[in-house]
Amino acid sequence: MLAQLLNGLASASSLFLLSLGLTLIFGVSRVVNFAHGSLAMLGLYLGVTLAQALIPPWGGPGFWAAVAGAALAVAAVGALIERVVLRRLYGSPELFQLVATFALVLIIRDATLATWGADDRLGPKAPGLAGVLAPGMLNLPSYDLVLMAIGLLVLAGVQWIMTSTRWGLQLRAATEDREMALAVGVDERRLFTQVFALGAGLAGLAGALQMPREPASLAYDLQVVAEAFVVTVVGGMGSVIGAFVAAMMIGVVKAACVALGTVSIGGLELVLPKLTLVIEFLLMAIVLAFRPWGLFGRPVAPPRAARAEFNPLPPPSRRGSLLLAAGMAALALLPWLAGDMAYVLVLAVDVLIAGLFAASLYVLMGPGGVHSFGHAAFLGLGAYGGALAAPWVAAALPWLAGSGPGGIATILLCLAAGMLLALAGAAVFGFVVLRAAGVYAAMLTLAFAQITWSVAFQWDAVTGGSNGLFGFWPQGWLATREGYYWFVLAVAGAGGLLLRHLMHAPFGLTLRMVRDAPLRAESLGLPVFAVRWTAFMLAGALAGAAGVLTVFAKGSVAPDLLAIPRSVDALVMVLLGGLQSLAGPWLGALAYTVGQDFLARATEYWRAAIGLAMLAVILLAPGGLTGVRRLGRLAPAGRPDDGRAPR
């Protein structure tokens, strides 16, 4: 137990170093920096390269020089990112900043691939620290003790800076009340650049220090960024002590799970080591349920001059209805228009499913005003619900599993089962998530998504574990590409029409009022929580429908359907299309899916191309594909349109 706890503290020290930079950036600039893991990955690669160049054959201080050089280089990259990209987005909603930093993830990953190749790179051992402490008893690597000491030194140094220097006082003031700090003369631009450079440098330091412990790999970025987010949120936004305590708590709990192994409670066996995949997210959900702003955080000061982030949703018009009818007719004729190009229908099915998934998230982000970083949980729940229901339908109602029209009935029952499971999951998750606010609520959605992914990944007897479930194909005339395309078009079209009706019905108007003026809505006697909860469940059910359609389109379901990249894909599609219109998520899904398919076949570095395209849209057209025209029309005469919603 003691050996495992010491190992846990060493891992916690590394996690603290990584999370500290994110905590400082998050606390001051309110930027949800998804690229923080990429900066750590860059530090790891740079550390390995510099170490190979600086360490002479006879040893010497080259290892530590490589660590310091990697940290300084990544700090310079962070300052460049802040000045070129993020400085242009500080006036935009938080989600735009999130998508911009995710675009940087794609760009940095392909830049790393082009520079160092796809193979993992092994780093050197730290000189004089290759042995272990108390061999045969603790077997604790000496280097882990050094990591603990470095973590404590960095904690003490940052605390001294924040409490004893003028710059640190400005940093604390901006963390607690940014607008008041700016009002009393704090230079916002310089402070933000300095903080981002410091945070990036700490990420580079954390990555470079991992050289003796693990190889440099392209998967390192997303592997560590989720844990860094958890530490930041659990500790409290901007709290250095909170980040340290949260990291230590997570490290110790993980180590305890490994040390205890399998525990029997009342005849029920609990395999605790399996919890290590998700224990940090369980801790985050528990902490935020009782402390919505983290252990050492404070409620965020409300903005004093808030501006609307959403334009009014345009009412239905006859012209819009005619365009919608013409579009649906053209899509229905697509099998004949495509001719022998069968791949067009395959891609069209992917676009329609992605559009339904994005539209379900739009309900939360647009009219609902709720940020979600874990919407893929409902996509996965729906997929597994439909897949698990299929054999039950075939066994209980064998005539439905036959060919012909029976194929439709089978899939419809699976569709209903998947939507019900996703709705149930949304009801449970939403009941907790909607009691938090802002980015804390969004992080709770991420926590629940990761918990759901962990269950799907490890429950081999039911979900098939990492292999997933296979053998789900439509039957009868639905087995043809044309037949299944028409079926998906009908389901996606029904989902879109349902949203169009609801968003312009009294429910939709009430939802937007709750979003824009919750106190006023509550004073009028409106059930604020019930309205938001209903919208959350509606979004979950529609995402579940997209999950079931995915199962029968691909013939299988795997835990990857619940992973973080799937949730980010939905965010990108919604913001790419724009929050100004119900057509936004569908256009965003079309552009993102087709663009990704084309670029993936055109170049090895398609991720970077997608990232650059995303940055171009966010910087040049922050209203998205449907918002450009409306924002230009709403800009006051005589003033250039800055891409922001009117005050």
Query: What does the pLDDT look like over 312-365, one tens digit per residue?
Result: 666 777 787 788 888 888 888 888 887 667 788 889 999 999 999 999 999 998
**Could you report the per-residue pLDDT of 122-147, keeping only the tens digit for each?**
888 887 777 666 655 666 778 888 88
Cβ neighbour number for residue 202 with a 10 Å cutoff: 30
Query: Which of 456-470, 613-627, 629-643 is most confident?
Result: 456-470
Distance CA 352, CA 331 (A): 10
Residue with tokens 């470095």: 150
**Residue 577 φ/ψ region, left for φ over 0, alpha for ψ in the -120 to 50 degree band, beta for the rest:** alpha
For the ranges 247-256, 294-303, 363-372, the lowest mean pLDDT is seen at 294-303
**How many degrees, rounded to 5, is the angle at CA 106 between CA 101 and CA 107?**
90
Cα 471 off chain centre by: 30
CA distances from 422 to 206, 415, 441, 544, 548 (A): 38, 11, 19, 5, 10
**How many degrees, rounded to 5, is the angle at CA 340 between CA 336 and CA 342?**
90
Would the pLDDT of 160 be above 80? Answer: yes
Distance CA 238, CA 247 (A): 14
**Could you report the per-residue pLDDT of 515-573, keeping only the tens digit for each?**
888 888 888 888 889 999 999 999 999 999 999 999 999 988 999 899 888 888 898 89
Would the pLDDT of 636 be above 70? Answer: no
Q: Where are the beta strands (DSSP E) in 100-154?
A: 132-133, 140-141
Would the pLDDT of 242 be above 80? Answer: yes
Distance CA 432, CA 444 (A): 8
Q: At 435, is the secondary structure helix, strand, or coil?
A: coil
Average pLDDT over residues 165-170: 80
Reported as type and span, the H/E element at residue 246 is: helix 240-260
Contact 542, 360 (CB under 8 A): yes
Distance CA 569, CA 325 (A): 28
Contact 200, 104 (CB under 8 A): no
User: Is residue 427 very low, low, confident or very high in pLDDT (cuts 50, 70, 90)?
Assistant: very high
Would the pLDDT of 181 be above 90? Answer: no
Distance CA 374, CA 212 (A): 33
In the chain, DSSP finds a helix count (H) and a strand count (E) of: 26, 6
Would the pLDDT of 257 be above 90? Answer: no
Which carries the bigger pLDDT value, residue 446 or residue 301? 446
Distance CA 400, CA 478 (A): 13
Would the pLDDT of 631 be above 50? Answer: no
Reported as type and span, the H/E element at residue 623 is: none
Average pLDDT over residues 166-171: 78
The total number of residues shown for the chain amounts to: 647
User: Is residue 586 very low, low, confident or very high in pLDDT (cuts 50, 70, 90)?
Assistant: very high
**Could you report the per-residue pLDDT of 464-489, keeping only the tens digit for each?**
888 888 888 887 778 888 889 999 99
User: Is residue 404 very low, low, confident or very high in pLDDT (cuts 50, 70, 90)?
Assistant: very low
What's the DSSP call for residue 341? -
Average pLDDT over residues 190-205: 89
Query: Which of 290-299, 300-309, 408-417 is most confident?
Result: 408-417
Which residue stretches of 555-605 are H helix? Answer: 564-577, 584-602
Distance CA 355, CA 588 (A): 8
Contact 23, 207 (CB under 8 A): no
Would the pLDDT of 406 be above 90? Answer: no
φ/ψ of residue 351, rounded to 5: -65, -45
What's residue 381's pLDDT? 95
Would the pLDDT of 197 be above 50? Answer: yes
φ/ψ of residue 556, rounded to 5: -160, 170
Distance CA 180, CA 169 (A): 13
Which carries the bigger pLDDT value, residue 96 or residue 522? 522
User: Is residue 596 very low, low, confident or very high in pLDDT (cuts 50, 70, 90)?
Assistant: confident
Buried b (16+ CB within 10 A) or exposed e, 121-145: bebbbbeebeebeeeeeeebbebbb
Q: Residues with Cβ < 8 Å from 323, sequence gap 6 or more?
A: none
What's residue 167's pLDDT? 81
Task: Return the structure tokens found at 248.
Answer: 């230590």
**Residue 96 φ/ψ region, left for φ over 0, alpha for ψ in the -120 to 50 degree band, beta for the rest:** alpha
Average pLDDT over residues 172-199: 74
**Could you report the per-residue pLDDT of 277-297, keeping only the tens digit for each?**
777 888 888 888 788 778 887
Which carries the bigger pLDDT value, residue 611 or residue 170? 611
What's residue 205's pLDDT? 93
Average pLDDT over residues 32-40: 88
φ/ψ of residue 328, rounded to 5: -65, -40
Reported as type and span, the H/E element at residue 581 is: none
Cβ neighbour number for residue 569 with a 10 Å cutoff: 23
Q: Residues with Cβ < 8 Å from 611, sequence gap 6 or more?
A: 102, 103, 104, 105, 106, 107, 110
What's residue 258's pLDDT? 76
User: Is residue 234 very low, low, confident or very high in pLDDT (cuts 50, 70, 90)?
Assistant: confident
Cβ neighbour number for residue 118 with a 10 Å cutoff: 9
Which carries the bigger pLDDT value, residue 321 or residue 449? 449
What's residue 415's pLDDT? 92
Task: Return the structure tokens found at 174.
Answer: 């901006």
pTM of the predicted structure, to 2 decimals: 0.84
Task: Return the structure tokens found at 301.
Answer: 């000061």
Contact 643, 631 (CB under 8 A): yes
